[in-house]
Structures are given as C-alpha cells and as structure tokens.
Amino acid sequence: MGSLQLKSIRKAFGDHEVLKGIDLEVNDGEFVIFVGPSGCGKSTLLRVIAGLEDATSGSVRIDGAEVINTPPAKRGIAMVFQSYALYPHLTVKDNMGLGLKQAGTDKAQIEARVAKASGMLSLDPYLARRPAELSGGQRQRVAIGRAIVREPKLFLFDEPLSNLDAALRVQTRLEIAGLHRRLKATMIYVTHDQVEAMTLADKIVVLNAGAVEQIGSPMDLYNKPANLFVAGFIGSPQMNFISSERLPELAQTGVKTIGIRPEHIALSRESGEWKSKVINAEHLGADTILYLETEVTGLLTVRLFGEHRYTADDIVFATPDRTSLHRFDANDRAML
C-alpha cells in the first residue's frame, strides 16, 4: 500500500552532485525521517521521491512500481510543505477538497473525505473560515487535511513545523504522531530538528553532504552511532569528543577519538577523575548544563538532571561512566 524503494539515486546540478547514490527501503506504514544539516540533500531527496525534481540516475519504486518517469500527480503521494500553500479566497473546507474537485471526484465523496479529515484534525469549527482567520497551527492542520483527503500511498512532509512557534511545534508534532497511529500510513518527513526526528520517527535517515551516514531507529542512532558525524549530530547537548592522546588509559589500539555524552558524566565537589573549573552554568529547571575546563580533556559539557547550584568558577571533579564511552578510529568510524 505504501512501500518505497530507492536505488542508487543521484542528483546533480551542473557539476555539483547533491545526492550521491542513495539506497533506502521504507516499509508500508513506517514513519521515516530524513535529518541532517542544511545543504545535506534531504529536501532534494524528498522532491525526487515526489517527482518535483528529476533524478540524474537511479530508481524510485512505490509499491514495487517504477515511478522515476511518472509525473507527481500520478505517483500516489501527497506533500505538506513548510509554507501552507493555501488559497486565501477559499474556505477551509474548499481548500481541503480542491484537489479532489480538480480530479473530478464525486461531490458526495469529497464531502465525506473532508468531513473525516476535519474530524481527525479538530477542524470542524473552522470549515467556513478563510486562511487569514486562522492561526499558523490551524493553517498547517488544513494543509495536512488537504493531504489526508487524497488518501495517498505516501505522505511527504517538508519541514512542516518550521514556521510555528515553540508551543505550536509541540502541539502539532503530537497531532502528526497521533495521525500516523490512526491512519497507519507511510510517512516520510524532512527536518533539521533532531527533537522532531527522535520523537516522531520509526526510522531515521541521517544525511550528510548528499550521502547516507546511518539508518536506524532513534535509540539505535543515539546509543550506537556508526561514526563521528552521527555521534555529534544526534543528541543535545552534543557528545563530548576527546583525543585518545589525552586519555591513553581509556583508549584501545586503533582508537583516535573517545566520545562521552554529557549525561554520562558524574560531578562532585569532593573528588573524581578530572579536576575541572566551571566556565558557565545553564539552569534550565529540569536540567543543569555545565561547561567545564579541565587540564586533561579541555572543554567538557556535562548534563545533570534537575537543578544543581553550580556557578561559574566553581572547582568540581568530573568522572565519566566508562561503560558508556564511544570509541572512533582514524577514519571516524565507531569501534565495537
């Protein structure tokens, strides 16, 4: 119903290769998120799947059928963009049903599908309003509803929450997660926000410079990053990286870099492995983030759960959890 297979997808603009041979398999009903820094190719890859960009080479199969030369309207996909792309002169109801109307769908069927989608997204009170009368979150729900009524094989989301404020981002994220559970549809979602990726995805595809760095579940990527890039990109605050030359007692043969996540470092005022000075303290209520300067490791980030009354210039002792260390070789690959 909604499987996707990408094989050796390449995309070049002139001499600049944006996608460098992407292979990916998405199972029916999966929620897959493309994540990576700006310019990594994630939106271009989504547009190739949608047919809005032509691949330079490679294969795109939806439900086993090759669609690389199929126009977007016939691929069985629906796309939700960062911009809501709503018609300002149409009501919410008419915006949601416009695509079906243009396709010649029976009026009664349009009414039924719009009513169903509206109920899912709590849009019933707003059906007679126009986009200018809605909040940003409501407009995005209308855009999602417009996609739902098409009953596509694939839902494609291109940074749909980027224009929303922090509170609306959380609310809409919850709505999208609930929608996925109810529809059991295949969804592919692009974001640069790792919180969205970690909280929504069944499977995350980490992209960097047009290539796939790692594919896996959120916790697989967090606990077992394949390389230095993934280890540094997934997780906030970022993993600490320390040259093995500074920590020969923790290194092994072939280890170039040792990684330790901020939450895997214990802190004490009395004793510990690395005597440190607090450079800055961020008191967030639920967490306390400390930036330390140590003679052994250099700059070190520590995350403590809850409120801790450390301040700048305090002398403390940091001790890493040795069972939670990550080791990387000279090629930046993770070592078992």
CATH number at residue 47: 3.40.50.300
pLDDT at 1: 64
In a domain, 158, yes or no: yes
What is the chain's pLDDT, residue by residue, as a tens digit (336 residues)?
Answer: 689 999 999 999 999 999 999 999 999 999 999 999 999 999 999 999 999 999 999 999 999 999 999 999 889 999 888 777 888 999 999 999 988 888 888 899 999 999 998 988 889 999 999 999 998 888 888 988 888 888 889 999 998 888 778 887 888 888 889 889 988 999 999 998 888 999 999 999 999 999 999 999 999 999 999 999 999 999 999 999 999 999 888 777 889 999 999 999 999 999 999 999 999 999 999 999 999 999 899 999 999 999 999 999 999 999 999 999 999 999 999 997
| Domain closes at, from 206, 229, 252 | 229
Both 60 and 173 in one domain: the answer is yes
86 with 222, same domain: the answer is yes
| Residues 328 and 197 placed together within one structural domain of the fold | no
Instruction: Say if 248 falls within a structural domain.
Output: no
For residues 46 and 53, what is the distance between their CA atoms, to the nearest angstrom?
9
Domain co-membership, 18 together with 140? yes
Short-list 276, 272, 270, CA closest to 297 = 276
The strand pairing partners of 334, in sequence order, are 328
SS (H, E, C) the chain: CCCEEEEEEEEEECCEEEEEEEEEEECCCCEEEEECCCCCCHHHHHHHHHCCCCCCEEEEEECCEECCCCCHHHCCEEEECCCCCCCCCCCHHHHHHHHHHHCCCCHHHHHHHHHHHHHHCCCHHHCCCCHHHCCHHHHHHHHHHHHHCCCCCEEEEECCCCCCCHHHHHHHHHHHHHHHHHHCCEEEEEECCHHHHHHHCCEEEEEECCEEEEEECHHHHHHCCCEHHHHHHCCCCCCEEEECCCCCCCCCCCCCEEEECHHHEEEECCCCCEEEEEEEEEECCCEEEEEEEECCCEEEEEEEECCCCCCCCCEEEEEECHHHCEEECCCCEEEC
- End-of-domain residue from the set 229, 254, 278: 229
**For residues 185 and 1, what is the distance between their CA atoms, to the nearest angstrom?**
9
* Same-domain check for residues 333 and 216: no
Same domain as 273, residue 162: no
List the beta bridge partners of residue 291: 280, 301
Q: Is residue 82 part of a domain?
A: yes
- Residue 165 in any domain: the answer is yes
CATH of the domain at 270: 2.40.50.140
Do 58 and 144 have their domain in common?
Answer: yes
Q: Answer whether residue 251 is part of any domain.
A: no
Q: Is residue 247 part of a domain?
A: no
pLDDT at position 316, please?
A: 97
Instruction: Answer yes or no: do 69 and 202 share one domain.
Output: yes
10 Å Cβ neighbour count for 88? 8
Q: Are residues 63 and 204 in the same domain?
A: yes
Q: Model's pTM, two decimal places? A: 0.90
Is 253 within a domain? no
State whether 95 and 175 are in the same domain. yes
Q: How many domains does the chain have?
A: 2
Domain containing 285 equals 262-336
Q: Are 86 and 95 in contact (CB under 8 A)?
A: yes
pLDDT of residue 122: 86
Computed on alpha carbons and rounded to an integer, the radius of gyration of the chain in Å comes to 24
76-119: pLDDT as tens digits: 999 888 777 888 999 999 999 988 888 888 899 999 999 998 98
Residues 198 and 320 in one domain: no
In a domain, 237, yes or no: no
Q: Peptide bond before 72: cis, by omega within 30 degrees of 0? A: no
